Structure 1
Amino acid sequence: MILTWLYAPGDRPAVVAKALGCGADAVIVDLEDAVPASRKEYARAATAELLRERPPLPVHVRVNALDSPWGGADLTALGGLHGLAGLRLPKISAPEQVVAAADRTGGVGLHALLESALGVERAYEIARAHPALRGLSLGEADLRADLAVSAEPGLDWCRSRVVVAARAAGLAPPAQSVFPDIRDLEALAVSCARGRELGFLGRAAIHPRQLPVIERAYLPAPAEVAAAEEVLTAARATPGALALPDGRFVDPAVVAAAHRTLALATRTAGR
């Protein structure tokens, strides 16, 4: 179960190598925004070389937009590589874009980044576009610009829309978009707590110092783990709906939530 994703620029192989040892659950090698046009081809070649063998943890690649001068070449160069865990497709606004990418990449898992009002509006159609699509996420910087949103709560509807669309399509809960201020860890923690309330699971980071904050925000607290264990103990003893001594009502939905909580807690037991 991946909670932390760390971005690294594809044209800086030493930074990518360092990112692989920073404690993230997965690394996203970026060929898009972090790489200037003059270094796109070098970044693609360096990333392809890295992924000829399987890295020590999952590596996804954010390719360039499919309608850019580089997007098609990115898909062709990376799609069949042994070490590639997934491709992240930026600026998706139509299901046909996902289908076109899937047709060129031989079944590798795809993740669609919705970065415009049109992409968010079509979130469910995009989520169901192709069996190779494994996830949705927001690209909040571009989305803010498209919607002319300045305050943080202004994107909450879009965030909820993506969470619901992913769930309705049978996909995993989305990870939150990056938090751009690498110095303000307190604000990052507050933002992560809000994301968890909205139904996100984990978050992408742009600096290693953000990783522990994200992980702490998304892991269940000891009290949550204890409450989940109590629910499951009671459910095993008395199948069906029941009320606990403290007044909490337990039904199948509550039991399912308790299983999710313990799955997250167990994820870190051996770390």
Structure 2
Amino acid sequence: MNRTPLTWLYVPGDRPHVVAKALTAGADVVVIDLEDAVAPDRKEYARAATADLLTDPGPRPVPVHVRVNALDGPWAAADLTVLATLPGLSGLRLPKVTTPDEIRKVAAATPVPLYALLETALGIERAHAIATAHPALRGIALGEADLRADLGVRGDSGLDWPRSRVIVAARAAGLAPPPQSVHPDIRDLDGLAASCAHGRALGFLGRAAIHPRQLPVIERAYLPTPAEVEHAETILKAAAADQGAQALPDGRFIDAAAVALAQRTLSLAYRV
């Protein structure tokens, strides 16, 4: 996929009609959830319904990922056996990863790109080792609800250090910046926007969602503003003039870091 993803829409795997609607809801990636969104007595149905969808190799409006059940639980082995080689699957999201060996084991069983969710203190401590476990791993992210419970954190600021830890680990491993975890209150769009602004300031790129109404809020928060685009274009034009050290009208000098940031801003603005 050439388009830089900013939105990942989670949908319950045991509601295939909701999955079908999600494919055209405007998300960059649809994530069929077999884990938290599915009750234990619905796990087998959710797996079978997801397999039915992904058996068809035909094109889809957006890539489809699947979040399987926890790797140390009773359902993950069947999830991977049934789903791992289906032609419609674009990615597997692995919850509660705590060791690099878990990534390597799954990578040996499937050619599909993998994404690790770090949801415990141990997973956070091993973030870089997990991020560099195998070339099949394309990204890491937080699962904040479980991490909050594991750490006993009540206030949102208590998660800022784990957030930064994961962002730095992803960058050090050469992975894309992680997306933010979900905002659980689908009615609180103002709170979602404020949370996205904070996440963007930390270094996240995009966000997972649990309802289509959250998608435009996330996209607006993470796309560069017109002023940011204009500033980036000014930097690149000045740099292209190649007249030695350049200074912008506000007095800031243009260096390699400023040029790299400007290029990233424009790349994101035009979604390439």
Check whether the contact 1:241–1:252 (CA below 8 A) recurs between aligned residues.
Answer: no
Q: CA deviation at 1:245?
A: 2.7
Aligned to 1:15: 18
Q: Give the Cα–Cα distance (whole angstroms) in 2 for the partners of residues 241 and 60 of structure 1.
A: 46
Aligned to 1:208: 212
Q: Secondary structure at the match of 1:201?
A: coil
Q: CA deviation at 1:242?
A: 2.2
For the structure 1 residues 238 and 120, does the alpha-carbon distance in structure 2 shift closer, same or farther, using more than 3 Å as the test?
same
1:100 aligns with 2:105: yes
Aligned to 2:32: 29
Q: Could you tell me which of 175, 179, 202 is aligned with 2:179?
A: 175
Q: Could you tell me which of 164, 167, 170 is aligned with 2:168?
A: 164
1:251 aligns with 2:255: yes
Q: CA deviation at 1:55?
A: 2.2
1:109 aligns with 2:133: no
CA RMSD of aligned residues (A): 1.1
Q: Secondary structure at the match of 1:162?
A: helix
Check whether the contact 1:240–1:251 (CA below 8 A) recurs between aligned residues.
Answer: no
1:196 aligns with 2:200: yes
Q: Give the Cα–Cα distance (whole angstroms) in 2 for the partners of residues 45 and 239 of structure 1.
A: 63
For the structure 1 residues 6 and 240, does the alpha-carbon distance in structure 2 shift closer, same or farther, using more than 3 Å as the test?
farther
1:72 aligns with 2:77: yes
Aligned to 1:4: 7
Q: Could you tell me which of 42, 45, 50 is aligned with 1:47?
A: 50
Partner deviation per Cα, 1:214-242 (whole Å, 9 max, x = no partner) = 00000000000000000000000126542
For the structure 1 residues 233 and 70, does the alpha-carbon distance in structure 2 shift closer, same or farther, using more than 3 Å as the test?
same
Q: Give the Cα–Cα distance (whole angstroms) in 2 for the partners of residues 180 and 195 of structure 1.
A: 15
The 10-residue stretch of structure 1 (151-160 or 35-44) with the greater mean CA deviation from structure 2: 35-44
Aligned to 2:123: 119
Residue ranges of structure 2 left out of the alignment (5+ in a row):
none
Q: Secondary structure at the match of 1:51?
A: helix
The 10-residue stretch of structure 1 (41-50 or 143-152) with the greater mean CA deviation from structure 2: 41-50
The ranges of structure 1 where at least 4 consecutive aligned residues each deviate by more than 2 angstroms after the TM superposition are: 239-242
Q: Secondary structure at the match of 2:138?
A: strand
Residue ranges of structure 1 left out of the alignment (5+ in a row):
none
The alignment of Structure 1 onto Structure 2 pairs a total of residues equal to: 267
Check whether the contact 1:240–1:252 (CA below 8 A) recurs between aligned residues.
Answer: no
